[in-house]
Amino acid sequence: MTAQIINGNELAKEVREDIAARAAKLTAAGELPGLAVILVGDSPASMVYVLNKERACKANGIRSILEKYDADFSEAELLERIRVLNEDPSVHGILVQLPLPDHIDGRKVIEAIDPEKDMDCFTVVNTGLLMTGQPRIKPCTPYGVMKMLESIDYPLRGAHAVIVGASNIVGKPMSMLLLQAGATVTICNSKTRDLGHHTRLADVLIAATGKRNIITADMVKPGAVVIDVGVERDENGKLWSDVDFPNAKEVAGYISPVPGGVGPMTITMLLLNTIEAAERRLE
């Protein structure tokens, strides 16, 4: 049996309708939601991401402030920009696109962001709130994956979720949200011995390593939910992801494609975080 597709584009559209309505309400109340995105350097991939974010903001009633700096922008200059944005009441969210150039200490930059405006949930304060079960801001990609699981009414309580990839951006925060939803969580990484042994136990399998086709069909439990977070474009422009989709979809019960899966949901959750930050301002 072929898996049902979890369509990230359709789901993102639904969530964005709610976002646009809430943005209009905020604007009418004098609190136009604003998101500042900072990009340092000229990575083409990062450029595509930030332009997508800008377009999504504009289409949904959120003011987008895009600040682009050359690769030689200094750490001190960047910290100063963050200080100014922290104090600007018209800015509700700040996102510094990663990776940063090598001469900049990314950790120092992230920690300079006011936790109230930390839309990625990258600061130690917000990570700690998430870990202690009181998230104020949810990290965009894991939050998007939770919405995808919610959209199929998946009963997470008691289910076994296996995450492949232990990054600070996806794997680790994903495990916290799943734990809080009552799942039993295993976190693997690309070096886990006999990875297939673990993934075959997964009712919900979340692949987030960035390693092409690391999840093959034989590693999927029949009927499982498979969410593919990894995405990479090769030198020929071909898009790769973590899951061997054509074969895995013949085994899984539900599966998310790339493109059109997690990607649109991640940006949507960034918009939602910005809306929620603006709404908190009115509380």
Choosing from 23, 36, 94, 95, the residue that interacts with ligand GUN (CB under 6 A) is 95
Burial of 246 (0-12, 13-18, 19+ CB in 10 A): exposed
Q: Sign of the CA dihedral 101, 140, 52, 55?
A: negative
Q: How many residues bind ligand GUN (CB under 6 A)?
A: 8
Residues within window 105-124 making contact with ligand GUN, judged by CB under 6 A: 120
| Helices and strands (DSSP H and E) totals, the chain | 10, 11
Q: Does 98 bind ligand GUN (CB under 6 A)?
A: yes
Choosing from 137, 169, 248, 278, the residue that interacts with ligand GUN (CB under 6 A) is 169
In this complex, which beta carbon is closest to ligand GUN, that of residue 97 or of residue 199?
Answer: 97
CB of 153 to ligand GUN, least distance (A): 27
C-alpha–C-alpha distance, residues 245 and 183, integer Å: 24
Q: Where do we find the tokens 């943005």?
A: 23
Is 36 annotated to bind a ligand? Reply is no
The span of 95-103, 151-159, 234-242, 271-279 binding ligand GUN (CB under 6 A) equals 95-103
Task: Identify whether the C-beta of residue 36 lies closer than 8 Å to the C-beta of residue 282.
Answer: no
C-alpha–C-alpha distance, residues 90 and 119, integer Å: 15
Question: Which three-class secondary structure state does DSSP give residue 254?
Answer: strand
In this complex, which beta carbon is closest to ligand GUN, that of residue 169 or of residue 265?
Answer: 169
In this complex, which beta carbon is closest to ligand GUN, that of residue 23 or of residue 96?
Answer: 96
* Residues in binding site for NADP(+): 165-167, 231
Q: Can you give the binding site for ligand GUN, defined by CB under 6 A?
A: 95-98, 120, 140-141, 169
